[in-house]
Structure 1
Amino acid sequence: MNTPAADDSRMRMLVRSDDLDETREMISTAYSPYELRALERPQDFSAWYAEGGFPGITLSALGYGTETLVAPEPLTSYLLVCQVHQGRIRLESAERREEQFVAPGQTYVMDPHQRLRVYWAPGTRVTTIRLARDLAERAAGDALGREEPARAMFALGGTISQAAAESWAGISATIHREVMSGGVARTSPLVASQLAQTAAATLMATHRLVQGSEPVRYAGNVAHPAVRRAIQLIEERSDQPLTLSDLAVAARCSPRALQEAFQRYVGRTPLAYLREVRLERAHHDLVAADADGPVTVAEIAFRWGFSNLGRFANWYRRRYGHAPSLTLRT
């Protein structure tokens, strides 16, 4: 991949600092809250960050001057396709027990469904292309042959082949040119939308989606108003006792009608959907918990309404491929 690094002088410079706390605050605002540590020679710490873009895509360039650890919170509304232009990066994914080294010209994807620890070698320079999560998940659904959006979850191995690397380099170069030259995507919503959709589709075809990426539904994307109302209640009160009758009251229809609408529009029952939401939130709490702290698997399971620990462990293992205790320990 020979896409040139973005010329940060042509972008809006947001950070140029040798103050670690200032850098953490500024880049946390640009991305998501994250841990930032200088791993050696903290007196040599320096950082810079610049960005530009057009509707649907943000192009960023950033670098650190000494060996640095970046451990962001999971992304929420977008994903990042990162390309190393100088130096080297080491990635660790605790949930998937993966490690990957990324050299100049190579890419990796940060999706909303994993926590990565990113180790930057001194002088490493990276550009990122930010895509909206809903756009990526529609493209993931298309790539997986589904009628609905799917969670866009990626392995750490970069592009799947040299041909794929060249295809991604092509769309990446187009995005760079549009941003750096002030192309028509800045002023034409149609061109911007088409380019963002093409980038998302190319990402799915060139990078390795994790098998088992599951269908995802959003209340705003479901045509049936009763389903939307029930999903909203689930999202807002998944930590509280909820029955099918509670959901039906919120949906303003009978329990039977709600069951039928969920099966048609979501492909599962309302209570199965509620269980999936609770599992995901329990998983996030297990990942965030201190392995040496006082929190236990049982406490987190009970917090999210799982009174039977054996069933919780079985459901969790089917969803995440290992026992919840393993997530807590890592």
Structure 2
Amino acid sequence: MESFRFDSGSLEETEAFLSEAYTPMRIGGRPEDARARVARNEAAGLVSDRLEFGYTMAYDAGCLNRICLVTVHAGSFADTTGGGERLFGPGETFLLAPPDRPYRGEVRSARYTITMFDPGLLAEAAVTGGGFRGPVRITGQRALDAAARRRLGSAVAYVRDQVLGGPGEVGELVAASAARHLATVALASLPSTVLADGAGSTDGRDAHSDTLRRAMAFVEENAHRDIGLADIAAAVPVTPRAVQYAFARHAGTTPLAYLRRVRLARAHEELRASDPHTVSVASVAARWGFAHPGRFAAAHLREYGVPPSGTLRGDPRRAGRG
């Protein structure tokens, strides 16, 4: 994981820093206190920044080339891209700008979080959600409703506090899984081009037991890598929906649920083979893509009847189930 901090009272230094960290931009303002503070945590292309400006800073910026979500904690944002003014205040999480378009506005004495990820994850989230045909774009800045706003804010907070802001090093699988999750939540919470369509006949024909066998084999061979539904489908090869239908029809589960199960089993095997004096449960969980130790422990207990700490210590109860 990469981390850095910026703290300056110079508008020139702040402009240079923001242009380097985000996209080329010009900033302005006549602050009495030009102090700007930024703290960044980043892993596997997933970025979480905490920013604070004690004054009104105007900005005119180029394309971000990333999905950029802003959560306002204090103060306000005024977006003036394309004319008019759209104001965002405390408690709101919104899309700053489409990744391929310039943007402009003002940060008004604001404290806020910026979370960024690869726009390509939206297309994968659309496929995972089921059957969209066409370009995948977020088309509006605000969440669809109050529930969507809370859901999106919670997903951002999870990335900021539990994944990138938690203690210790962040594994690549953990960060990549969190980015995929955030993309899925963003697509479900913000206006977009995604409209569900029906299942194609080809997908149904391809959803046979051999598709399931090939997909399971790929998952088992590549569970240590950052893979998703699109990767599994390409390896078979069939459409992502055919893979989903094959798992539902023949295994009663989803491809990603099966991937989590395989990773849980690998983590369990590693715990059994490890020395408790040199290895921790948290490090094994993170290595296999489990960011939250409590959830990992609960899943392990459900599956194996013993907490992961017991498996690591050599608890004899594990023998019957694992």
TM-score (norm 1): 0.53
Q: 1:98 to 1:211 in 2, by over 3 A?
A: farther
SS at structure 1 position matched to 2:90: coil
* Distance (whole Å) between structure 2 residues aligned to residue 92 and residue 182 of structure 1: 38
Alignment-derived partner of residue 73 in structure 1: 62
1:141 CA drift (Å): 6.1
Q: 2:163 aligns with which of 162, 178, 186?
A: 178
Aligned partners of 1:164 and 1:206 also within 8 Å: yes
Q: Which amino acid aligns with 1:170?
A: S
Matched, 1:152 2:137: yes
2:136/2:193 contact within 8 Å kept: no
Residue 121 of structure 1 and its aligned partner are, at CA, apart by 1.3
Aligned position for 2:216: none
Partner Cα distance (1:144, 1:134) in 2:
16
SS at match of 2:122: helix
Find the counterpart in structure 2 of residue 239 from structure 1.
none
Output aligned runs, 1:223-238, within 5 Å: none
- Cα displacement (A) at 1:197: 0.8
Match of residue 204 from structure 1: 187
- 1:138: how far off? 3.4
Distance in 2, Cα, partners of 1:166 & 1:42: 33
Equivalent residue number for residue 105 of structure 1: 91
Report the CA distance between 1:193 and its aligned residue. 2.1
For the 8 Å contact 2:23–2:62, the answer to whether it is kept is yes
CA distance in 1 between partners of 2:46 and 2:143 (Å): 20
CA deviation string 1:167-207 (max 9, x = no partner): 213322221222221367x12x3332222111101000001
Q: Report the equivalent of 1:165.
A: 149
Please name the residue that 2:104 is paired with.
117
Residue 143 of structure 1, CA deviation: 5.9
The answer (yes or no) to whether the contact 2:11–2:34 under 8 Å persists in 1 is yes
Q: Note if 1:55 corresponds to 2:44.
A: yes
- 1:1-40 pair list within 5 angstroms: 12-38=3-29
CA contact (8 A) 1:155 1:210 kept: no
Q: Determine the structure 1 residue equivalent to 2:77.
A: 89
Structure 2 vs 1, CA of residues 91 and 48 (structure 1 numbering), >3 Å: closer, same or farther? same
Matches of 2:130 and 2:70, distance apart in 1: 23
Name the % identity. Answer: 22
Task: Give the SS at the match of 1:121.
Answer: strand
8 Å contact kept, 1:63–1:125: yes
**1:216-245 deviation per Cα after TM superposition (whole angstroms, max 9, x unaligned):** xxxxxxxxxxxxxxxxxxxxxxxxxxxxxx
Measured on the aligned residues, the alpha-carbon RMSD in Å equals 2.5
Q: Deviations over 1:146-168 (max 9, x none)?
A: 356x2423323x21111112221
Q: Which runs of 5+ in 1 are unaligned?
A: 1-10, 213-330
1:64 lines up with 2:50 in the alignment: no
- After superposition, the C-alpha distances for 1:99-126 in whole angstroms (9 at most, x for unaligned) are 311010102212213332121112x111
Count matched residues.
192
Residue 55 to residue 210, structure 1, CA distance change in 2 (3 Å): same
Q: Once the 2 structures are TM-superposed, how far is the Cα of residue 211 of structure 1 from its aligned partner? A: 8.2
120 and 50 in structure 1: CA distance in 2 versus 1, 3 angstrom threshold = same
